[in-house]
Structure 1
Amino acid sequence: MADHQRIHPVQDPEAAVPPRPTAPLVSRGSSHSERGDPEASRNNNNNYPPYQRTIPYSYSKPPKKRSCFKKCLCWTLCLVILQIILIGILAAIIFFVFRPKLPKYSVDSMSITQFNLNNDNSLYATFNVNITARNPNKKIGIYYENGSRLRVYFQGTELCEGSLPKFYQGHRNTTVMNVNLTGQTQDAAGLLQSLQAQQQTGNVPLNLRARVPVRVKLGGLKLMKWKFLVRCRLNVDSLAQDNTIRIRDSSCKFRFRL
């Protein structure tokens, strides 16, 4: 018996592959999450407050406002420092350009024309003093102004006073001045006794003080008024009327101020 030919159905290869979907599985506008439905998770999270991260911060202090007093103090200090600097610069210029030197004074001789005690215990004294003033500067002149006062003291008591003449002393000039001093001392009986006891030793200490207003001339520039203060210590042999006093030794100190 002949075998019947068997026919097996063959699948079409194109029919075996399912057709690709033309529409997306998830509609546009919807969200996709691997953890599930975002709407469901969002609804579940609505029961709990959202987590917020807190960042620590420090409170900064507000800037302090400077008071008017501190500002004025700072400005005043700045101005004072500036003035000191300017004065220092000016002093340096004067020193290196003019080479200033202090004037020198000496008491050369002294005589007494009147020195007696009256019935009312008042002492009258008239002195005549020769004073030498030296200006050693090459470029600086000195104007001696009115208003000077020259006094003679014994043990702190003023015996007489006078004034220096007004004149101009040029560069490297030496001037000798003859000054008359007069004075009256009340209740001088005790003073005269102390003076007589001192004369027995042959050494009578006297103090001569002078205050002289001057103007210094630097080249062609005339500066403001200054005051020369001169103090001289004298030791004389005696104080007797109509007698030339012999000066044993003397020393003078000089300083000035505005």
Structure 2
Amino acid sequence: MSRHPKIHPEAPSARASAPLVPRAASRSEQGDPAKDVLTQRSTYVPLAPPRKRGRSCCCRCVCYTLCLLLLLVVAVGATIGILYLVFKPKLPDYSIDRLQLTQFALNQDSSLSTAFNVTITAKNPNEKIGIYYEDGSKITVWYNETKLSEGSLPKFYQGHENTTVIDVEMSGQTQDAAGIMTTLEEQQQTTGNIPLRLRVDQPVRIKFGKLKLMEVRFLVRCGVFVDSLAPNNVIKIQSSSCKFRLRL
């Protein structure tokens, strides 16, 4: 018999591709170390810098200061409201009753010398409020933008619902007044009157019952139309109106 050649299967190659990392070491107890490294890198969060305590202290101080100011404003507002309800304050009333020109002369150097006597009536209509008229007052007479004379009111106390008549003497000298004299004469001939303005700046202290408040200022502005500016003569007041304003 003929013998067939035996075919022996080829043994597997001994050259197997060995893994770069041993299988036993490729995974840790919690997972793949390569993935763990990537996960740690991707979830890294930088730490915020520590806060400065000085800034927070400053913010707290500002907040406390604002709160104190707010409380102070509320307290002052409440006090003013209570005083208003209890005393029911009313504004004083002023009027110009008499105006006498004792001097009105143009000098050789073109200066104008003037002197006025003014009678002012001041009314305090309040039942529970008194007014202290302090030193440092100023009253002036103006024609257009030119000041003619000035003086001051006396110091006195005006009680509740009181009417006080005040006589004030004023004097002044205006330089380069030749043009003013010409304008006055033309206006008197054209309109038959001369507009004057009286301004009063008076420091006062208000008395609520027995409480005497801080000093404030009364500002009075009066517009007066007179028939003429003849010296040594009582000037006829054709019309007058006064406005009162309070300034702290």
**Alignment partner of 1:107 is 2:85:** no
* Larger Rg computed on CA atoms: 1
**Alignment partner of 1:183 is 2:172:** yes
**Alignment partner of 1:167 is 2:156:** yes
Which residue does 2:85 correspond to in 1?
A: 96
Q: One-letter code of the match for 1:215? A: R
CA distance in 2, matches of 1:124, 1:68: 67
**Alignment partner of 1:214 is 2:204:** yes
State the 1:46 CA deviation: 3.6
CA distance in 2, matches of 1:106, 1:91: 29
Contact 1:199–1:239 (CA under 8 A) maintained in structure 2:
no
Contact 1:143–1:214 (CA under 8 A) maintained in structure 2:
yes
State the 1:192 CA deviation: 1.1
Q: Deviations over 1:5-42 (max 9, x none)?
A: xxxxxxxxxxxxxxxxxxxxxxxxxxxxxxxxxxxxxx
- Residue of structure 1 aligned with 2:141, choices 147, 152, 161: 152
Q: One-letter code of the match for 2:118? A: V
- Residue of structure 2 aligned with 1:79, choices 68, 71, 83: 68
TM-score by length of 1: 0.76
State the 1:80 CA deviation: 3.0
Q: One-letter code of the match for 1:188? A: A
Where 1:115 maps in the other structure, the secondary structure is strand
State the 1:148 CA deviation: 0.6
- Residue of structure 1 aligned with 2:187, choices 164, 174, 198: 198
CA distance in 2, matches of 1:64, 1:247: 76
Alignment of structure 1 residues 1-258 onto 2, 5 Å: 46-50=24-28, 51-52=30-31, 61=48, 65=52, 66=55, 70=59, 73-200=62-189, 201-258=191-248
Quick check: 51-60 or 155-164, which moved more? Answer: 51-60
Contact 1:98–1:140 (CA under 8 A) maintained in structure 2:
yes
Q: One-letter code of the match for 2:176? A: D
State the 1:204 CA deviation: 0.9
Identity of aligned residues (%): 56
TM-score by length of 2: 0.79
Q: Which structure has greater helix proportion?
A: 2
Where 2:25 maps in the other structure, the secondary structure is coil
CA distance in 1, matches of 2:104, 2:187: 16
Q: Over aligned residue pairs, what C-alpha RMSD do you find?
A: 2.3
Unaligned stretches of 5+ in structure 2?
Answer: 1-21
State the 1:248 CA deviation: 1.5
Contact 1:148–1:164 (CA under 8 A) maintained in structure 2:
yes
Q: Deviations over 1:149-196 (max 9, x none)?
A: 000000111100111111110000000111111111111111111111
Change (3 A) 1:115 1:77: same
State the 1:47 CA deviation: 2.6
State the 1:235 CA deviation: 1.2
Which residue does 2:15 correspond to in 1?
A: none
